Structure 1
Amino acid sequence: MGADQTRRPVILALGAALAWQTPAFAQEQAPAAEQAATTDSGIQDIIVTARRRNESIQTTPIAVTAIQPSQLEAAAALNIGDLQGAAPNVLITVQATGAATANISIRGIAFADVEKSFDPAVGINVDGVYIGTSTGQFLDFFDIDSIEILRGPQGTLFGRNTISGVINVRRTRPTGELGGKFEASFAKYDQFAARAVVNVPIIKDVLAAKFFEFHTDGSGYYKEVGTGKLRGGSNNENFGASFLLTPSDNFDALLTLEKQIQDFDPVQGPLSQSGDVFCPFLPVCGGNNTTDIYNVFPAPGGYGSYKAPAATLEMNFDAGAVKLTSVTSYRESKEDQLQDFATNGLYNARRRQKYHQFSQELRGAGKIGDSFDYVAGLYYFDSKYRLVQDTLVFGQASTQDTTGKSESYAAFADFNWEIFDRVRLSGGGRWTHDKKENINPLLAPGGVSASESWSKFTPKIGLDYRPTDELMVYASWSRGYRSGGFNGRGQTIGSATTPYDPETVDAYEVGLKSEFWDRRVSLNVAAFYTDYKDIQQSSTVPLTVPPFNETIVTNAAGAKIKGIEADLTVKPADGLILRSSLGYTDSKFEDFIIGQLAGGVLRNFDFSDVDLIYAPKITFAVSGEYTLPVTMGDVDGDIKLNASYRYLSRYDQQIAADANTPLTGPDPIVVERNDPRLRSDEQNLLDASVSFIWDMNASGAKARATVFARNLLDDRGTQTAFTVSAFPILWSFAAAREPRTYGVQLGFEF
């Protein structure tokens, strides 16, 4: 850890100590998701912005789960990965081949890859800004105002590449009053976190500022074979400032400047089995995919670094009849990563990438009469990346140099129309035009390049009925769209210049939202059916020259996905909140036939019977929070007890044929299952925490001490798994999920 990195936590600790002795000036603004009215004994009404409007979650006619900041605090959550299993039919795993990279799946639709030439299937929006790559999506969860997980395609309001859903994150805004929030935590595997947010008034009621700094580091939970040294550690910094200008009652402007820095040790657990080409050359081969993957090969010299500055400007103007919003954002990143992929030095790759994106959204919202409201706008997105990769395989070197460009613009509109008393018709549409270009200077003299454009209209229509104030039923149809593109890792002229087409979904959903028992119980249920077309499928195929494999994407198949979801919240007594969610998904490919080399011969393989990736049949979660007021002398406070259990049924992590698939017989060769090492076992994740929260003084300052444990059952296994090439398989590797971890967290706010 560098000198600057060691100073920051010390400075934060000193700041917290000084603030502890300072009289409190202001309480930090309550989170938006908790600012709604509530009854004395009922469940708090949660306000969401899932449809670019402020509305109760109980009157929003889509399947959405709201994660409140207090839930993250109780679970000692550090990043987006801690939401794994917290919402029905949602998976969030780490992609260890890239920096701060998340693999996210909603309702059985996912795309697990780190490359910037591929678009995610789930949209991550932070403060109204779409993050265009999977790198940078592993977000810190300290300065959070609200988190909403929207399930199903959200193309009308959130755009392309949201065919399975959106995770909508809003951070706190400057309060305009002097206040702060500090936190430090210590946990197993040398995990340390120090995080702070300070609000400062600059010009009273006109200009306010918020400064933030988040630091986390740890040694990792893998063990190096032979030495026992902990591997897979990281050092993360996220810091910046927000400035809120409010010169009048009808205008505000919020400017956020920030930077994310990550230095990490990129390791992968070994999954190679007998029969893999690399197996005879590895010190260990044939281990299981539960506990053995935590033992990694030495392969010294690996490193990873990621730097990503960003700027966002949001402006809002209330013109009376219409409210106008502008969101302008620029993000860039620079990565340098040298990694051995569990081969003990047989396959090394150094990847250097630069990326930037610019986006601009203009939208207006208003009402026409008492029964019609709308949101409409324009959107523009532009990005460019360059990847330079040097690969060394059995001593043979190769270099790849790829530049990709993407441009997209769209127009959209969304409306609610109360056509009868308590009956609303809602809908809208979005027209999107995409253009992408791929440039590779090394595949031929003078280089090669290709470009392609696509346009798509994605409509939505829905109807909801509220027979009482406590009950709503709704039905909807929507279309989602993920842009086509080029294979950024194509190693031949054909694969680098042949585009793959967009994929689409038609999603049908019916749902019920209800409250009863004097608003002590909330039950929301949704059933869905998804027709998934032209699926963009990633395949790794062998080459006869270094690097001896390439990853390409083709439009390989269609799929039918159906399921049901339920969110339940119960407040049986004051101080006690129980939450539960259940998701069931049934998915099946259809007409999934692709060509692959097998023994040097091109054969057709029928994958129609294999499972979709990251699509567990069952996700289940239950949690409880009990708050007990206590008085210790002159100190008033609360003891909070929290426990949660999450269950995930098994799921596959890559489309790759079982190595034992018979290659005899005519085409197509029927593949009965994916390689079994790519299947995650059932997960039983148990977490618990105990917190003591007490008042520091009469002005509202509070302190908190929390003891927590995650994965108490020490349930071990893979987060992601991968086999390289097929017939023959070269080798395999995996990323392991976090084992049992426990620690303590101290917090203070004023």
Structure 2
Amino acid sequence: MIARTILLAGVAGLCFIASAASAQEPAPAQAAPEQGATSGSPRGDVIVVTARRRQETAQQVPLAISVIRGDSIEATGNFNVVKLQQLAPTLQVYTTNPRNTSVNIRGLGVPFGLTSDGFEQGVGIYVDDVYNSRVAAATFDFLDVAQVEVLRGPQGTLYGKNTTAGAINITTNQPTFDFEGRAEVTAGNLNYKQAKAAISGPLSETVAARVAVATTSRRGTLYNVATRRWINEQDNLGLRAQLLFQPTEDLSITLSGDYSRQDPECCGTTFVRVGTTQRLLTRQYDALVAAANAAGRNYQVPSRNPYDRLSDLDSNLNAGNKIGGASLKVKWDVGPGTLTSVSAWRFWDWKPENDRDFTGLSIVARSQNPSQQDQYSQEFRYNYESQDIDFVVGLFGFKQRIDTQGVESQGADASRWSLTNAAQINAGILNGLTASNTQYLKSTSAALFGQLSWKVTPELTIQPGARINYDKKSGFYQRVVTTGSGQVIASCAPAATAGNAVLAAQCGVYQPQISAPSASDWNFTYDFNINYKIAPDVLAYATYAKSFKTVGINQNGLPLDANNQPILSAGTVKPESVNHFEAGLKTQFLDRRATFNLTAFRTEIKNFQATVNNGQFGVLRGYLANAQKVRSQGIEADFKILVSDRFTAYANGAYTDAKYKKFVDAPCPPELAGGTVTTNAAQWSPAGQAGTAANPSFSRPNCDISGQRLPGVSKWAFSYGAEYNIPAHLLDKDGQVYLGVDGNYRSHWNSNASPSIYTEVKGYALTNLRAGFRGEGFDVFGWVRNVFDVDYIENLQVAPGNVGLIAGQVGDPQTWGGTIKVSF
């Protein structure tokens, strides 16, 4: 309440001062001129961005930036952040459900794997200057979006909250003083239906409003034979309303509110493969299924071909997600500069249900971790521009609380799956064993930041930036374990389990825990950019950035020591220290009808925050650990050409070499785990060698994965597109008939934090087509996505218990449909 009162008081005070100081006649809003635009340029070759917190053309910005306009997003069907990677090659977005979504740039940003609230994302996601603290809170459908800017490389001196890998800057269409509107309906196979509408206009000479709504639904792409339902569906609703008050040409106040609801039966997996681990041969997946069947079951997976799109998950599935908030943005031209205040409150309500054993057997009968988040942020910025010097200076404050109430229960098949003692199996001592966790996270952050552009000559600009950041986190985690009869397990210490084989077996699955990690840190970061205009349309630049990502805390249960006790020292993880080097060339030629940009980069991170999972049931969601050193380096190229009013094309490519340079104590991948653990290297068994009673396998306590590639990163990635049109007259309307194609390719990548031979995802290429007729105020087109019906995997997951089961989520099959758009 104190934070909210201070935030609202600050906003009200700034609004009052700004309003009192403005006494000029009201004036309608005017669009900023597009600098450098040339008359007669086909389809407009100048793209205005706000990447540096001021309006300028994309080619003037001395950093690697991909700009995706709203019409391109709609034409290619990329309706949320998850789909953006099809248009931006160095953006990697992987998701098993909205909460567990990783957004990385150049392989860096969010630790790949199950999400923990205790760390920060390295890719900041902003919507109209409002920071979204969790990736899960930004998985909403794009609604009335003007454009998306993907900024690559550290952005901490202009964007808040540890943007060590980059930022995604989303700008929505703003209220206008000219009456306008648009509507769009789409229908396709898989019972796909989408409708969008937006209307904007004046309420008075000084007040304008804009309202937008969108709804999306689609049948699922995976058939669950257990429930006889299609799962992994889409069921989304989004609303946005904005009110603009512009009493003078120097002052604008925008109040915005939005709400997004997602309520699909999601997110299920399908069987992909089995890989042999170092467990006993009788404890491997196929042997366990055979043992269950010998005991009276008749279980078999519905298909061993994931592209049959069949599943048999027996637990409830839900991915209920509610996201929303409000913001107040005040812009006041003060002398030669502009003062901006952005005050915001956002909420996120997550209600999941999952099947964490990935099978139709009742091993993990229930798994859910519902969360509720509130965040408040306040930013003040002052932008100054002159002939010789431009600068931005700002203050940023942030406060967040996340509460989670989790439950995970073992089912009727758990004892046979996890135990070897026949009496314990027959007694079903794990059936109903439940871990209930309660946790919260409190996070506070404050920063002073600035960036200066000194135009030494008309061609040469030197641009230093700096940021002072303070972060404080405090968390709480408590796990209460109860047996199937409701008895609370008070302790799993050796003294408690000695002589009690049943308790020891139950403690081998879930252990009571309690921890209250906390950490705080000050950091000073900076960057230095020098750029030179070799020619009017050729810009060369070089950047060095010293950045950081703040301390992390483990919020989802800790790993265990040899005495089956939580390792309390693992409660916190060190902050990341980032050294980033980048050089680039931005060019335009053929009367600015062609654009070619080239970037080379190298990023080194010490104490990289990685999400790891050691296969223990007790570590419910994985935990954070520091990899000693990570490096990402590569080259990116972007090309676009507007041959004429009739033909346009683009091609983007990236080579990314992202590796663990030093990670000597990582959890082992499945093929090197599951046997008797020993520190005697001479006894370690080969990868994938199952043990027997007479000849058991021996496993490493941990693995050195130095030199191996980071998960989720394709070494090669490309995207391309082209469109051709001819003038036409149809249904008494003048317009254009057009044909468009776009596509993307990603080479193979690994989806396990410790790369495994069983979680290698094959590369794939997708192609999309569209054809239609458009004219003034309307557009009618048909589309086909994944034209060649390519089979591909979006993500692979290792089943808990290290039994060798690999489950996955298959990508969308070929889809097709039609869209009608009208505007006025």
> TM (normalized to structure 2)?
0.80
The residue type paired with residue 601 of structure 1 is: V
Alignment-derived partner of residue 767 in structure 2: 686
The residue type paired with residue 464 of structure 2 is: G
Q: Distance in 1 between matches of 2:191 and 2:33?
A: 33
In 2, are the aligned partners of 1:89 and 1:107 still within 8 Å (CA)? Answer: yes
In 1, are the aligned partners of 2:435 and 2:479 still within 8 Å (CA)? Answer: no
The residue type paired with residue 323 of structure 1 is: T
The residue type paired with residue 740 of structure 2 is: N
CA deviation map 1:49-82 (0-9, x unaligned): 1111111111110000111122123223322233
Alignment-derived partner of residue 66 in structure 1: 67
Alignment-derived partner of residue 54 in structure 1: 55
Bigger Cα displacement from structure 2, 376-385 vs 572-581: 572-581
The residue type paired with residue 740 of structure 1 is: Q
Write out aligned runs for 1:115-126 (5 A).
Answer: 115-126=116-127
Q: Which has the higher strand share?
A: 1
Aligned in 2, Cα 1:496/1:261: closer, same or farther, shift over 3 Å? farther
Write out aligned runs for 1:56-135 (5 A).
Answer: 56-93=57-94, 95-99=95-99, 102-110=101-109, 111-112=111-112, 113-135=114-136
Q: Distance in 1 between matches of 2:146 and 2:36?
A: 13
Alignment-derived partner of residue 190 in structure 2: 189
Alignment-derived partner of residue 356 in structure 1: 374
Q: Distance in 1 between matches of 2:305 and 2:628?
A: 28
Matched, 1:259 2:259: yes
Matched, 1:414 2:451: yes
In 1, are the aligned partners of 2:395 and 2:447 still within 8 Å (CA)? Answer: yes
Q: Distance in 2 between matches of 1:88 and 1:30?
A: 35
Q: Of 380, 385, 388, which aligns to 1:371?
A: 388
Q: Distance in 1 between matches of 2:651 and 2:32?
A: 22
Instruction: State the Cα distance separating 1:521 from its structure 2 match.
Output: 1.2
Alignment-derived partner of residue 587 in structure 2: 514
The residue type paired with residue 712 of structure 1 is: V
Which protein shows a greater Rg? 2
The residue type paired with residue 316 of structure 1 is: K
Q: Distance in 2 between matches of 1:600 and 1:729?
A: 15
Write out aligned runs for 1:379-418 (5 A).
Answer: 379-393=396-410, 394=414, 395=431, 396-418=433-455
Identical-residue share of aligned pairs (%): 26
In 1, are the aligned partners of 2:373 and 2:402 still within 8 Å (CA)? Answer: yes
Alignment-derived partner of residue 315 in structure 1: 330
Alignment-derived partner of residue 663 in structure 1: none
In 2, are the aligned partners of 1:272 and 1:287 still within 8 Å (CA)? Answer: no
Instruction: State the Cα distance separating 1:313 from its structure 2 match.
Output: 1.0
CA deviation map 1:516-574 (0-9, x unaligned): 1222211111111111221111111244xx64655111112312221111110112222
Question: Secondary structure of 1:157's partner?
Answer: coil
Instruction: State the Cα distance separating 1:339 from its structure 2 match.
Output: 1.2
Bigger Cα displacement from structure 2, 445-454 vs 620-629: 445-454
Aligned in 2, Cα 1:161/1:264: closer, same or farther, shift over 3 Å? farther
Question: Secondary structure of 1:82's partner?
Answer: helix
Alignment-derived partner of residue 666 in structure 1: none
Aligned in 2, Cα 1:633/1:268: closer, same or farther, shift over 3 Å? closer
The residue type paired with residue 728 of structure 2 is: V
Alignment-derived partner of residue 359 in structure 2: 343
Q: Of 796, 813, 817, which aligns to 1:721?
A: 796
Question: Secondary structure of 2:96's partner?
Answer: coil
Aligned in 2, Cα 1:572/1:286: closer, same or farther, shift over 3 Å? same
Matched, 1:590 2:661: yes
The residue type paired with residue 636 of structure 1 is: D
Alignment-derived partner of residue 486 in structure 2: none
Aligned in 2, Cα 1:37/1:290: closer, same or farther, shift over 3 Å? farther
Alignment-derived partner of residue 210 in structure 1: 210
Q: Distance in 2 between matches of 1:83 and 1:724?
A: 28
Alignment-derived partner of residue 668 in structure 1: none
Alignment-derived partner of residue 468 in structure 1: 535
The residue type paired with residue 645 of structure 2 is: D
In 2, are the aligned partners of 1:270 and 1:287 still within 8 Å (CA)? Answer: yes
The residue type paired with residue 380 of structure 1 is: G
Write out aligned runs for 1:169-568 (5 A).
Answer: 169-204=170-205, 206-225=206-225, 229-266=229-266, 267-271=268-272, 273=274, 275=276, 279=286, 280-281=288-289, 283-284=299-300, 291=307, 294-299=309-314, 301-341=316-356, 342-344=358-360, 345-347=362-364, 348-367=366-385, 369-393=386-410, 394=414, 395=431, 396-442=433-479, 448-491=515-558, 493-495=566-568, 498-543=571-616, 547=618, 551-568=622-639
Q: Distance in 2 between matches of 1:606 and 1:391?
A: 31
Q: Distance in 2 between matches of 1:721 and 1:495?
A: 30
In 2, are the aligned partners of 1:33 and 1:68 still within 8 Å (CA)? Answer: no
Instruction: State the Cα distance separating 1:324 from its structure 2 match.
Output: 0.2
Alignment-derived partner of residue 706 in structure 1: 781
The residue type paired with residue 177 of structure 1 is: D
In 1, are the aligned partners of 2:657 and 2:715 still within 8 Å (CA)? Answer: yes
Aligned in 2, Cα 1:600/1:237: closer, same or farther, shift over 3 Å? farther
CA deviation map 1:426-476 (0-9, x unaligned): 121111111111112447899542211112112010111112211111111
In 1, are the aligned partners of 2:302 and 2:312 still within 8 Å (CA)? Answer: no
Instruction: State the Cα distance separating 1:608 from its structure 2 match.
Output: 1.0
Question: Secondary structure of 1:460's partner?
Answer: strand
In 1, are the aligned partners of 2:609 and 2:626 still within 8 Å (CA)? Answer: yes
Q: Distance in 2 between matches of 1:217 and 1:518?
A: 44
Query: Could you list the runs of 5+ residues in structure 1 that have no partner in the other structure?
Result: 1-28, 657-673, 696-701
Report how many residues are paired: 691
In 2, are the aligned partners of 1:473 and 1:512 still within 8 Å (CA)? Answer: yes
In 2, are the aligned partners of 1:408 and 1:434 still within 8 Å (CA)? Answer: yes
Alignment-derived partner of residue 748 in structure 1: 822
Query: Could you list the runs of 5+ residues in structure 2 that have no partner in the other structure?
Result: 1-28, 278-283, 293-298, 415-430, 481-489, 491-511, 559-564, 668-672, 679-700
Aligned in 2, Cα 1:154/1:640: closer, same or farther, shift over 3 Å? same
Q: Distance in 2 between matches of 1:517 and 1:234?
A: 44
Bigger Cα displacement from structure 2, 271-280 vs 480-489: 271-280
CA deviation map 1:162-187 (0-9, x unaligned): 21111110001111233211111112
Instruction: State the Cα distance separating 1:145 from its structure 2 match.
Output: 1.3
Matched, 1:570 2:570: no
In 2, are the aligned partners of 1:318 and 1:324 still within 8 Å (CA)? Answer: yes
Aligned in 2, Cα 1:300/1:725: closer, same or farther, shift over 3 Å? closer
In 2, are the aligned partners of 1:32 and 1:145 still within 8 Å (CA)? Answer: no
Question: Secondary structure of 1:185's partner?
Answer: strand
Q: Distance in 2 between matches of 1:70 and 1:49?
A: 18
Instruction: State the Cα distance separating 1:331 from its structure 2 match.
Output: 0.7
Alignment-derived partner of residue 622 in structure 1: 720
Q: Distance in 1 between matches of 2:656 and 2:273?
A: 30
In 2, are the aligned partners of 1:75 and 1:642 still within 8 Å (CA)? Answer: no
Instruction: State the Cα distance separating 1:725 from its structure 2 match.
Output: 5.2
Instruction: State the Cα distance separating 1:212 from its structure 2 match.
Output: 1.4
The residue type paired with residue 647 of structure 2 is: L
Instruction: State the Cα distance separating 1:634 from its structure 2 match.
Output: 3.4
In 2, are the aligned partners of 1:79 and 1:141 still within 8 Å (CA)? Answer: yes
Question: Secondary structure of 2:120's partner?
Answer: coil
Question: Secondary structure of 2:517's partner?
Answer: strand
Instruction: State the Cα distance separating 1:600 from its structure 2 match.
Output: 5.7
> TM (normalized to structure 1)?
0.87
The residue type paired with residue 449 of structure 1 is: A
Alignment-derived partner of residue 644 in structure 1: 742
Instruction: State the Cα distance separating 1:30 from its structure 2 match.
Output: 11
Q: Of 670, 675, 686, which aligns to 2:756?
A: 675
Q: Distance in 2 between matches of 1:117 and 1:734?
A: 26
Q: Distance in 2 between matches of 1:380 and 1:403?
A: 20
Question: Secondary structure of 1:488's partner?
Answer: coil
Alignment-derived partner of residue 164 in structure 2: 163
The residue type paired with residue 682 of structure 1 is: G
Instruction: State the Cα distance separating 1:735 from its structure 2 match.
Output: 2.2
CA deviation map 1:315-372 (0-9, x unaligned): 10101122100011111122211111322232230222111111110010113x5211
Instruction: State the Cα distance separating 1:103 from its structure 2 match.
Output: 2.2
